[in-house]
Structure 1
Amino acid sequence: MDVFNEGVFLGRAQLPGVQHPSVVTIRDGHIVEITSRAAPTVRDICEMDDPAGYVHSAEGKSAGTLDDVLSNSLGARDSGKPLLLSPIDLQAVKASGVTFVVSLLERVIEEQAKGDPARADILRGDILELIGEDLSALVPGSETAAAVKQRLIERGVWSQYLEVGIGPDAEIFTKCQPMASVGYGADVGLHPDSSWNNPEPEVALVVSSARKIVGATLGNDVNLRDVEGRSALLLGKAKDNNASAALGPFIRLFDGNFSLDAVKQMDIALEVKGEDGFVLKGSSSMSQISREPELLVEAAIGDHHHYPDGLVLYLGTMFAPIQDRDGKGKGFTHHLDDIVTISTPTLGELVNRVRLSTQCAPWTYGPSHLMRDLAKAELL
């Protein structure tokens, strides 16, 4: 991918014969290991004053060509060769919800439909007609938004999703525990109870404990629409399951050539290919987000909530698939073995295969295991 010649990228890989995950970057078409006592984890680099400067100059050694590592990670996943992992380690993994108008409307529809895709199709038209307002132009928490809120309450269609979509407070939730996310080429998991679900193509910001946004990566915030539609109190079950959070392939660190302004203009492409021949394509434009990324970060971290190892924050998506797959009015839902590709020119592409969470590799390597292995390698 040509994009990897343009920026400073940071990630993790499992290298043959090395017990602990290795910190890596990309140079001249190679994956280069830069793990050291000065920075044994990705978290340590992201806490530095100049993460991009450190990665650019850090000493390292080649672990193989980028093409070979990407190919093995996506294909055979031979543990005897380097494999990409999620590019983060000790950071908390958080997500923001209902940050785009299309996502907002779909969440309201989920709630009203109570998990029934056919009823959702009818409600979609009804709610759009009722609102009669360009919600994308509303500033959440503004007087205008408050007036729209009151009008909807009077009509009996106010929703908790509209509250976080145009109200004063953003929705911030925990997507998974530190070190539980999966990376490029890994399987992503659906809870076996779900029969209506979808990918959510997103940008995720990497934030230090000092509240500094240091870079960005791609994410798939796998979502169970039927579970969340039954009750928002089931958000944990809808969002946080084994292998339900994908990130990668790498973090692109902010430097003189890449900044938050570039993130705000990104168009995120999604493609789902099924073994049944079904192809779904969609996109999400960050320019249409209703809450500025900086404000979402402020809602997640501040004097009200500290993260000593920093965090990664999914920014939400405007993509909500309604294309029928298994019959008229049934909308979209995943089939097992779907291949999901999320991409943007400045961050590369994140590719994963869909499985049940019970069929994905179990999460068995956590922070305590990492600390022990780094200590054994005399990196702590």
Structure 2
Amino acid sequence: MGRNDIPDGILVGRAQVPGFDYPRIVTVRDGQLIDITARGMAMVRDVAESGHAAAHVRSAPGRAIGEIGAVLDNSIAGRTRDDLPRLLAPIDLQAIKASGVTFVVSLLERVIEEQARGDKSRADALRGEILELIGTDLSQLVPGSDAAMKVKAALIEKGVWSQYLEVGIGPDAEIFTKSQPMSAVGHGAEVGLHPVSKWNNPEPEVALLVTSKGEIIGATLGNDVNLRDVEGRSALLLGKAKDNNASASLGPFVRLFDETFTLETVSRAEVALRVEGEDGFVLEGHSNMAEISRTPESLVAATIGTHHQYPDGLVLYLGTMFAPVKDRDGAGQGFTHKVGDIVSISTPELGTLSNRVNLSTQCPPWTYGTSHLLRDLARANLI
């Protein structure tokens, strides 16, 4: 990833900058990474909650701290130099939430995971059986509609109803806590798999930046790393399947909404995925946001409102339609990650987010939390 992969627009993020113990707030101007950290605007949370995030980032005074291509390169695990800036996840105090089963393809794969009970060798045969039963009509259904409820009744009669079908076509969206504030990793960092997992995959997604008032003000890319065998054993293991060290990746920047980039732009975006393994394996795919079964606005409304508040705002993964099934280790074995895989998620509107896969136990541990950030900013007289 280089300078040409960075989109035009109003970008905000965080970087570890030499000489500072705490993350700095940054943007990109004319190919340079610009440090715009200021008192009262020393966190992405502050910028988002200001009520004029895009205007602030566009006009805030700052200083150039590096050419963007060099910073991106220095952000890649194993290449990092301490005397150069490196990018971090572009959020800080926001809650990290996710929505699931928002595309029909991922819906079918979740049903297969459940029926396979975590055994990937059974997935191929089950896929054919389930598709024969329910076909592809689900892609045309509006969740919660009368038509969807008729399909639900028919599937129950056939004996293939599933908790995933419930959230896929039923009235209520699946919203869960992906990870904790301050725990996400950014572009170039390693992403982690719990070592117990033998069947897992990346989930390339668009994630929305949402204020404490429920206003959607920007978007970024995300990898909602998933353990298919763990979740397939029981949906009650969702926390173990989803929330592990370095399992939430976001970046490289949040692009804030303005006259050239809106929620409508996000709704039309096509997200590309590429996985390159050290074994020579290559997997490619695309996720078209236009095929989402629940609108981004409805997913945000299901997350935040009078029923649930987030005083520091949130970031919301919107779900993925890409559930990789390409055989990797043999016919009928499907896809699973191997340590060393490079996962790249990209769209022209948001750039490219790349991460290297490792075990969560081998990724750098998460040690810098909210208390550390607030103490450091207080010492620097920035809050």
TM-score, with length taken from structure 1: 0.99
- Select 2:187's aligned residue among 163, 184, 188: 184
Alignment match, 1:47: 49
Alignment match, 1:350: 353
Residue 4 of structure 1 deviates from its aligned partner by: 3.6
1:231 maps to 2:209: no
Alignment match, 1:11: 13
- Select 2:22's aligned residue among 20, 23, 33: 20
In 1: Cα distance, 2:227 partner to 2:7 partner:
36
Alignment match, 1:128: 131
In 1: Cα distance, 2:60 partner to 2:193 partner:
39
1:208 maps to 2:206: no
User: What's the secondary structure of 2:381's corresponding residue?
Assistant: coil
Alignment match, 2:67: 65
In 1: Cα distance, 2:257 partner to 2:99 partner:
21
In angstroms, what is the RMSD of aligned CA positions? 0.8
User: What's the secondary structure of 1:218's corresponding residue?
Assistant: strand
User: What's the secondary structure of 1:322's corresponding residue?
Assistant: coil
Residue 133 of structure 1 deviates from its aligned partner by: 4.5
In 1: Cα distance, 2:156 partner to 2:280 partner:
43
In 1: Cα distance, 2:281 partner to 2:17 partner:
36
Q: Is the 8 A contact 1:5 1:28 kept in 2?
A: no
Residue 230 of structure 1 deviates from its aligned partner by: 0.3
Q: Is the 8 A contact 1:5 1:27 kept in 2?
A: no
In 2: Cα distance, 1:367 partner to 1:38 partner:
16
1:115 maps to 2:118: yes
CA offsets per residue over residues 8-31 of structure 1, 9 Å max, x none? 000000000101100000001000
Q: Is the 8 A contact 1:13 1:22 kept in 2?
A: yes
Q: Is the 8 A contact 1:215 1:254 kept in 2?
A: yes
Q: Is the 8 A contact 2:32 2:65 kept in 1?
A: yes
Q: Is the 8 A contact 2:7 2:351 kept in 1?
A: no
In 1: Cα distance, 2:373 partner to 2:9 partner:
28
1:373 maps to 2:376: yes
Point out where structure 2 has 5 or more consecutive residues left out of the alignment.
Answer: none
Alignment match, 1:159: 162
User: What's the secondary structure of 1:258's corresponding residue?
Assistant: coil
In 2: Cα distance, 1:273 partner to 1:83 partner:
23
Letter in structure 1 aligned against 2:115: Q
In 1: Cα distance, 2:7 partner to 2:273 partner:
23
User: What's the secondary structure of 1:193's corresponding residue?
Assistant: coil
User: What's the secondary structure of 2:13's corresponding residue?
Assistant: strand
In 2: Cα distance, 1:183 partner to 1:20 partner:
15
- Select 1:34's aligned residue among 31, 36, 60: 36
User: What's the secondary structure of 1:107's corresponding residue?
Assistant: helix
CA offsets per residue over residues 235-281 of structure 1, 9 Å max, x none? 00000000000000000000011000000000000000000000000
Residue 132 of structure 1 deviates from its aligned partner by: 3.0
User: What's the secondary structure of 1:342's corresponding residue?
Assistant: strand
Residue 3 of structure 1 deviates from its aligned partner by: 5.7
Alignment match, 2:85: 82
Please identify, of 240-249 and 30-39, the stretch whose mean Cα deviation from structure 2 is larger.
30-39
TM-score, with length taken from structure 2: 0.98
Q: Is the 8 A contact 1:247 1:350 kept in 2?
A: yes
In 2: Cα distance, 1:45 partner to 1:172 partner:
25
5 Å-filtered alignment, 1:140-155, equals 140-155=143-158
CA offsets per residue over residues 50-109 of structure 1, 9 Å max, x none? 211110000100111101101111251112210100000000000000000000000000
Alignment match, 1:341: 344
Please identify, of 74-83 and 25-34, the stretch whose mean Cα deviation from structure 2 is larger.
74-83
In 2: Cα distance, 1:321 partner to 1:118 partner:
14
In 1: Cα distance, 2:335 partner to 2:109 partner:
13
Residue 146 of structure 1 deviates from its aligned partner by: 0.3
1:298 maps to 2:301: yes
- Select 2:287's aligned residue among 278, 284, 287: 284
Alignment match, 2:278: 275
Point out where structure 1 has 5 or more consecutive residues left out of the alignment.
Answer: none
In 1: Cα distance, 2:255 partner to 2:135 partner:
40
In 2: Cα distance, 1:163 partner to 1:271 partner:
30
CA offsets per residue over residues 354-375 of structure 1, 9 Å max, x none? 0000000000000000000001
User: What's the secondary structure of 1:158's corresponding residue?
Assistant: coil
In 2: Cα distance, 1:179 partner to 1:3 partner:
25
Letter in structure 2 aligned against 1:8: I
Q: Is the 8 A contact 1:146 1:167 kept in 2?
A: yes
Alignment match, 1:138: 141
In 2: Cα distance, 1:270 partner to 1:11 partner:
22
User: What's the secondary structure of 1:104's corresponding residue?
Assistant: helix
Runs of 4+ in structure 1 deviating by more than 2 angstroms, as ranges, are: 1-5
Q: Is the 8 A contact 2:90 2:251 kept in 1?
A: yes
In 1: Cα distance, 2:8 partner to 2:96 partner:
27
In 2: Cα distance, 1:95 partner to 1:196 partner:
21
In 1: Cα distance, 2:356 partner to 2:6 partner:
23
Q: Is the 8 A contact 2:227 2:242 kept in 1?
A: yes
Percent identity, aligned pairs only, is 68
User: What's the secondary structure of 1:374's corresponding residue?
Assistant: helix
Q: Is the 8 A contact 2:7 2:349 kept in 1?
A: no
- Select 1:106's aligned residue among 104, 109, 130: 109
In 2: Cα distance, 1:268 partner to 1:286 partner:
8
